[in-house]
Every structure is written in C-alpha cells, then in structure tokens.
Amino acid sequence: MTYEVNGVVYRAGKRIWTEAEDARMRTLYPEQPTAAVAVALGRSIASVYQRADKLGLKKSAAFLASPASCRTTGRQGIGTRFVKGQAPANKGLRRPGWSAGRMRETQFKKGVLNGVAAARFKPIGSTRTIDGYLYRKVSTLPGPWTRNWTLEHYRVWTAAHGPVPAGHAICFKNGDKTDVRLDNLECLTKAAVMARNTVHNLPKPLAQTIQLLGALKRQIRKRDHAAHD
C-alpha cells in the first residue's frame, strides 16, 4: 500500500520512484551531471545512479565530451607540466641535512635505532622462548622475525649432522623442550612422531577412557542429527 507525504510517495516506509520521476530521469540524466539530477529530484547521488542503471540510462556522447562531465582530455594542466630536458626549480639547492641550523644534527642516521625499536632490539645470539621452544637470533635481515630466529634444537642438530631430511623432525628424547643437548635430540620421521603422540601410548586406563568418551560423543552427534532430520 502506498501513501504520500508532502508530495513524496512511500511504500512500507520506503520512498518509491514514481512514473513522473522516471520521466524526469530520462530527460535529465543523459544531459546533466548526476549531482545536479539528484538535487532536482531530491534524491541521493547513489539512488540516482541505481535508478539510472535499472532504467538503462546512459550519459549522452555530447555530455561526456563537455567540460561538465569532468573527464580529462589529455590537455588539462598542460601549461604547468614538466617538458623533456627541463631543469627542476630546486636544482642546485642544498639538500636536507646540509642546511643551516640543527637539521643535520637531528636527522635519523643510518643503522641507528630509537624509541621502541631500540628498546625491543635483540642482538644476534639472543634467545627467546615461544610455546616452550627455545629460539636463537642468527641474523638481522629485513622481513618477518622467523627469518632471523631459528629453533635452537634444530640449530644444534644441523651443526652436528647437517640439514634435516624432508619429512623428518627433530624431537626431544626426554620430552623436555628446554633440554637442547645434542645427546637429548633425535631425528624421526613425521609418521613416527605422530605415532609417538597417539592415544595408544598413554596408560591403558586413560586410553580406554578417551576412546569411550569419543564413542559417546559420536552417539550424541548421531542423535542430534536424527532429531533435526
């Protein structure tokens, strides 16, 4: 059901386009800037664009070629452009850092850290612990921190035995991530690591409890699915 308020037609609280407005759109839109059409119709620019698209309206070739379209023709600003071989206005002037006063004194200097960067900086050889694993800083290359920090137990292993083969991982024999002695490290296939960490290596009562809990959860999910079917 439509109703009118101060000459504006609404349906369910939303303003609708009338036939009269569509007729004005067909007359105004092709030949005038969209902002001007929006003002004339009391609509937003976005609303006018959307209606024009629905009505299949386009700007006329004459409008697009006129200054009102604000399209560039390649001639705008030609009087102020640099031409080939032209010297810049500041050619020969002293560059920053060579002016009088304290400019050179207060400039950032290459390789010098200040503020938070200086407070957080760690030199090569520093260590940090993440998720229980010990990392050591080995370089200061730009990029993510993983480029400069390496796992200490991998570093110890490769120093003694060379690169870790593909599909293998370095593990701790005693399970202590902080014990990075070479004697406590071993190179295992990832399949072996997975097998070591499975439920079957837990004490039998605990393994049975985990298996029963899993079976119970599966039965609950089946009943939930059946109830919703």
pLDDT of 94 reads: 65
- Spatial contact of 176 and 168, defined as CB atoms under 8 Å apart: no
Give this prediction's pTM. Answer: 0.43
How does strand 168-172 pair with strand 14-15?
Answer: unpaired
Nearest to 134 by CA among 171, 180, 184: 180
Question: Cα–chain-centroid distance for residue 27?
Answer: 45
When pLDDT is averaged across residues 119-138 and rounded to a whole number, the result is 91
CB 150 within 8 A of CB 135: yes
pLDDT tens for 152-192 read 999 999 999 999 999 999 999 888 898 999 999 999 999 88
Per-residue pLDDT at 200: 67
Q: Which residues of 51-89 are buried (b: 16+ CB within 10 A; e: fewer)?
A: bbeeeebebeeebeeeeeeeeeeeeeeeeeeeeeeeeee
DSSP state of 53: H
Confidence of residue 22 (pLDDT cuts 50, 70, 90): very high
193 — phi, psi (to 5°)? Answer: -65, -45
Instruction: With H, G, I as helix, E, B as strand and everything else as coil, classify residue 100.
Output: coil
